Structure 1
Amino acid sequence: MQALDLHPEQLAAAVGARPFLLLALLVLGAVGSVLGIVAIARLAERHARAMWSRAVRGFRAVAEHAATRRLSARFPALGRVLRGLSADEYLVIHLGLGMALSLAALVFIALANAVHRGSTIVRVDLALSRALYASTSEGGVAALRAFTHLGSGLALTVLGIVVGAALLWRRHRVLAIGWVIALAGGGLLNAALKALFSRPRPTFEDPLAVALGWSFPSGHSMGTFVAFGMLSYLGVLFVRTLRGRLALIALALSWTVAMGFSRMYLGVHYLSDVIGGFAAGTVWLAVCISGIEVARRRPSKVDGRPLLD
């Protein structure tokens, strides 16, 4: 009952005093949320089929309407996109990604506004940062210093080259281009956001690690989210079993959350920096996957059928 009476800053200090318990809770929360969504979707599958059928019929009616045809004739590019997408693909991929993009954008805007106004989240940031710094251990610092390098720009560039080359070798040209755009564009977007908000990093008399540049949003968190989100997307395309796909997504989520935690533990980012990085990464990832799906299903120049890369 006492925990319920704590102010946000006191609660942040309390959880910061147990850093690796906090990490475990964050990982379990992220993975559990995804598994919970999948479980709910499977339980609701029977009712969803009827709603799905009605939605598909509605989309087809709109696509075949005379006004839509006139619009497609006036804007050929729009017509090609509509012809290249089936109703099922449009509803599952693009409406789902659009929802993720919208929610993540709202979270990022609200968080950025709260940071700019110096509201409660800033006090929570300071309390958690100080508690984590006071609770560090020599072994924990050494381990997370090594781990956090795997989310650096250099490490993600190496990953980008390796995965991009593998996709080209397998002749997945559209996926390779989309992969490169996702990683490179995410880095540029993060740099632009940092310059826009210009938030100073946490400061300590005896810092555990030193990082250059502005603090909000976290580049390691955003870059890792985009890279491992894209790897999860590629895994969903190539892995056929639901169990394999869920295992891949759970591993990617765990890695990404741990990367964000490492930045807080080492005292180079605040909690809101990490959450902001995840939110901005979600927005960019949704845009990239949606664009890739459109490109993969564009009509082939040979026979007019969708080109599934």
Structure 2
Amino acid sequence: MFTEAPALVLLARQLGEHSLAWFTGVLALSVLGAGSVCRAWQQRRTRTLPTGEPEEPRLAAALAMGFLAILGAASLVAYIASKLGDGRLLGLADQALADAIGDHVPWAALVVFSWLTHLGDAELLAPVCLIVALLLWRKAHHGLALGWMMALGGIVLLNPALKRIFARARPLHDHGLALETSFSFPSGHSAGAIVSYGMLMYLALRLLPARWHVPAAMAAAAAIVTIACSRVFLQVHFASDVAAGLLTGLAWLLVCVSSLEYARHRKRRRSRP
């Protein structure tokens, strides 16, 4: 009986029944949160270190936090994977959420999500990757150009490898708005979105005037959340696939940004008299 289902499955069913409202709330919180964090970061940067004070402690702390975040993301992905499979609780909750979305989300909303999900397509991001790399190289930002290519190229290699390891089947749907044939776990669109738009935000913070930083952070958050959620609404991924994709992408993004910041620090040290 449905009333005898575990609490997590019941919660997933309820979330699916009100999924559009939840999506709107999560999107708004993510965009406002990204803008607030970026503003706070800007204000912190205005209080620069006194001349001559070493930057190594700050750099070491940032790298340590990034390393811990990477370990945490990897551990969470492994935990999610361990709870999937026939009859396991997380798998049942995934299916309950997908079924509820299929039963309650209007057709018009699905059509909109079928358009928005293309923001995470490789066919769109590949030319964007090339154009951005060429612009960076032309402006003599050679390190950033290589870092940008490393970030996007790395996730293109990493995600399919993980898909083959876990070999999870995709959820079933009959709306015909989206068709995917590869394995489901983790979500490639979600991983690619957080790496691509996260790196674009990082480049904006590095290269654009300060007045563009907050809008760039808010736009990146909106794109990442919308693309990730679209995969669940279109039922081409389970929610756990998307969560794992975001965690995988976040871990790789932290690796790339940490590497670029370390290289930036080293270059600045060498340029000092």
What's the TM-score bracket when you normalise by the shorter of the two chains? 0.7 to 0.9
Q: Deviations along 1:60-116, whole A, 9 cap, x unmatched?
A: 7xxxxxxxxxxxxxxxxxxxxxxxxx3155145423322332322222222122225
Which of 217, 220, 232 pairs up with 1:249?
Answer: 217
Which residue does the alignment assign to 2:232? Answer: 264
Q: How does 1:65-76 map to 2 (within 5 A)?
A: none
Letter aligned with residue 276 of structure 1: A
Which residue does the alignment assign to 1:278? Answer: 246
Which of 270, 279, 290 pairs up with 2:258?
Answer: 290
Q: Is the 8 A contact 1:223 1:281 kept in 2?
A: yes
Q: CA deviation at 1:134?
A: 1.3
Q: Is the 8 A contact 2:38 2:213 kept in 1?
A: no
Q: CA deviation at 1:262?
A: 0.8
Q: TM-score under structure 1 normalisation?
A: 0.75
- In the alignment, structure 1 segments of 5+ residues that lack a partner are 1-5, 61-85
SS at match of 1:9: helix
Which residue does the alignment assign to 2:171? Answer: 202
Distance 1:248 1:41 in 2: 13
Letter aligned with residue 241 of structure 2: D
Q: CA deviation at 1:285?
A: 0.5
Which residue does the alignment assign to 1:213? Answer: 182
1:109 pairs with 2:75: no
Q: Is the 8 A contact 1:126 1:270 kept in 2?
A: yes
Which of 213, 235, 238 pairs up with 2:207?
Answer: 238
Q: CA deviation at 1:127?
A: 0.7
Q: Is the 8 A contact 1:194 1:216 kept in 2?
A: yes
Distance 1:38 1:121 in 2: 34
Which residue does the alignment assign to 1:66? Answer: none
SS at match of 1:115: coil
Closer, same or farther: CA 287–21 of 1 in aligned 2, 3 Å: same
1:158 pairs with 2:127: yes
Q: Deviations along 1:162-181, whole A, 9 cap, x unmatched?
A: 21111112110110011011
Distance 2:228 2:38 in 1: 24
Which residue does the alignment assign to 2:11? Answer: 11
Q: Is the 8 A contact 1:208 1:267 kept in 2?
A: no
Q: Deviations along 1:32-74, whole A, 9 cap, x unmatched?
A: 554676788899x8xxx9xx99xxx9xx7xxxxxxxxxxxxxx
Q: Deviations along 1:253-281, whole A, 9 cap, x unmatched?
A: 11111101111111100000001000000
1:96 pairs with 2:65: yes
Closer, same or farther: CA 108–30 of 1 in aligned 2, 3 Å: farther
Distance 1:286 1:238 in 2: 19
Distance 2:99 2:68 in 1: 36
Q: Deviations along 1:3-29, whole A, 9 cap, x unmatched?
A: xxx922222212212332121122134
Letter aligned with residue 124 of structure 2: A
Which of 96, 102, 119 pairs up with 2:88?
Answer: 119
1:140 pairs with 2:106: no
Which residue does the alignment assign to 1:305? Answer: 271
Closer, same or farther: CA 99–232 of 1 in aligned 2, 3 Å: farther
Which residue does the alignment assign to 2:3? Answer: none
Q: Is the 8 A contact 2:38 2:214 kept in 1?
A: no
Q: CA deviation at 1:286?
A: 0.7
Q: TM-score under structure 2 normalisation?
A: 0.84
Aligned residues: 263
Q: Is the 8 A contact 2:39 2:214 kept in 1?
A: no
CA-atom RMSD, angstroms? 3.0
Closer, same or farther: CA 238–299 of 1 in aligned 2, 3 Å: closer
Q: Is the 8 A contact 1:16 1:131 kept in 2?
A: yes
